[in-house]
A and B are shown apart, each in its own frame.
Chain A
Amino acid sequence: MSNIPAELLYTASHEWIRDEGDGSYSIGITEHAQELLGDMVFIELPDVGDDVDAGDDCAVAESVKAASDIYSPLTGEIVAINEDLEDSPELVNSDSYTDGWLFRVKASDSDELKALLSAEDYAASIEEE
């Protein structure tokens, strides 16, 4: 059973969401997702300043095995991206919840948070797969 930190929110498509406390939210992919994808070789990220809608594919995680779209769980503006992934995509494998974060969104509609999954709900959703 993979690690699913209780303090984060999740999507059924395996993104995690961390509240940074300033109206912005960091987004990454779960440990379970990186296990499914295998060793990362390239991560394509959005540009800072891009506007995204919830559900937009705005990043790509390319592993040895496959390319996988990453969806923004929230509507808003991209305020930061993890530039370390340019040279070290393997951080998504080794530290998926910390140094392997992907991008940060300044959310424009906090109601969207209600649609996200708790750690418990996410655990149940991957159990069903």
Chain B
Amino acid sequence: MSQQTVLYPQHVAANAKMVDFHGWEMPINYGSQLDEHHAVRQKSGMFDVSHMTIVDIQGAQAKTFLRYLLANDVAKLSQAGKALYGGMLNHEGGVIDDLITYYFSETEYRLVVNSATREKDIAWIQKIAADFQVSITERPELAMIAVQGPEAKAQCAKVFSAEQNAAVEGMKPFFGVQAGELFIATTGYTGEQGYEIVVDQSQVGALWDSLVEVGVVPCGLGARDTLRLEAGMNLYGQDMDESVSPLAANMGWTVAWEPSERDFIGRKALEAQRSQGKEVFVGLSLEEKGVMRTGQVVWVTNRDGEQVSGVITSGTFSPTLGYSIALARVPAFEGEYAKVEMRKKQLTVKIGKPVFVRNGAKV
């Protein structure tokens, strides 16, 4: 059965093309995915991300619990509102989900997890929480809008109250603050500045409409995917899943090895993998015609001069750069070029870091 977010009427009224996204009926675009992409890189655009799952973790052992549950270490968080990205792993070191943790106090945290993984995430969190003094509260009554782009903050300022504008004044990246009816965070999934705004379902329609009125462009999942790929951000289920180590999926930086005495789920498995270091996550660029697609085979040359294969985990056309880019997981390699098998031919592509565009410009 397909679910709809509260903003469904807004999407339909704006002529959105709706598609099924893991059981949610979501807008893929409102006419042109490319125009929406450029709106976010050059001005401001917004996404309905109300399908994402918000889980509040509270209780005397909230901190202890999350230090065991997550591969990143919430002990790094000491300023109210500070956010932390990282993976929730299984005992084998595979990624159950990637998520953002907001710190309010040592007894109050908020997790924002993917919608596609909601059921297994909640089941896992509850299972692990059984041994801790914590309460786990899903917040399905909350909706969320991501407003992104170089003009996003200025546009939001026009619809925020004086109190809300005061609350976000000078807020650094990766922070969140409750200001009146809105939880406003300087996070996102596009590589641009902006906010992710959490609000009660009953008020999200009015917020969306007022953002449309000031000129923020509604954007669909299509643009969201090309934007996050240019920014080198992972998509759960494509770039990593339970069979993939965070160390082979661009998430090594989110694994907090220190302090070494902290035990977290998956630690032992990751330590074993770390010493092997067999796969790496790279960015690929194809500066001629053609588009690399998810699932295509990549060939690289190893230190013995042999051709060894990896896989494109996410591939697309980059609207900002005008050529195709991809994220890929490959065996340890030497050299700067790889070959990709695309439709009847093999094309040479350049290997680089898995990030392509930040704040409107080529990295």
Does B associate with A?
yes
Instruction: Determine the chain A residues whose CB is within 8 A of the CB of B290 once the complex forms.
Output: 42, 62
Q: Are B33 and A60 in contact (CB under 8 A)?
A: no
Instruction: Determine the chain B residues whose CB is within 8 A of the CB of A60 once the complex forms.
Output: 343
Smallest Cβ-Cβ distance to B32: which chain A residue: A39
Interface string of A21-33 (1 = CB under 8 A from B): 0000000000000
Known: A38-B29, A39-B32, A41-B317. A62 touches B222 (CB 8 A): no
Instruction: Determine the chain A residues whose CB is within 8 A of the CB of B29 once the complex forms.
Output: 38
Instruction: Determine the chain B residues whose CB is within 8 A of the CB of A38 once the complex forms.
Output: 28-29, 33, 222
Known: A39-B34, A41-B317. A64 touches B289 (CB 8 A): no
Q: Are A64 and B226 in contact (CB under 8 A)?
A: yes
Known: A39-B33, A42-B290. A64 touches B222 (CB 8 A): yes
Interface residues on B, range: 10 to 19
Task: Answer yes or no: B319 CB below 8 A from chain A CBs.
Answer: yes
Least Cβ–Cβ distance between A64 and chain B, in angstroms: 5
Within 8 A of B (CB), among A1-40: 35, 38-39
Least Cβ–Cβ distance between B41 and chain A, in angstroms: 14
Interface string of B323-361 (1 = CB under 8 A from A): 000000000000000000001000000000000000000
Q: Give Cα A62–Cα B343 distance, bound, in whole angstroms.
A: 11
Smallest Cβ-Cβ distance to A39: which chain B residue: B34
Q: Give Cα A64–Cα B32 distance, bound, in whole angstroms.
A: 10
Interface string of A41-82 (1 = CB under 8 A from B): 110100000000000000010101111000000000000000
Most buried by B among A41, A42, A60, A66: A41
Can you spell out 10 A-B residue pairs with CB atoms less than 8 angstroms apart? Answer: A38-B28, A38-B222, A39-B34, A42-B289, A42-B290, A60-B343, A62-B291, A64-B226, A64-B291, A93-B32
Interface of A toward B, CB cutoff 8 Å:
35, 38-39, 41-42, 44, 60, 62, 64-67, 90, 93
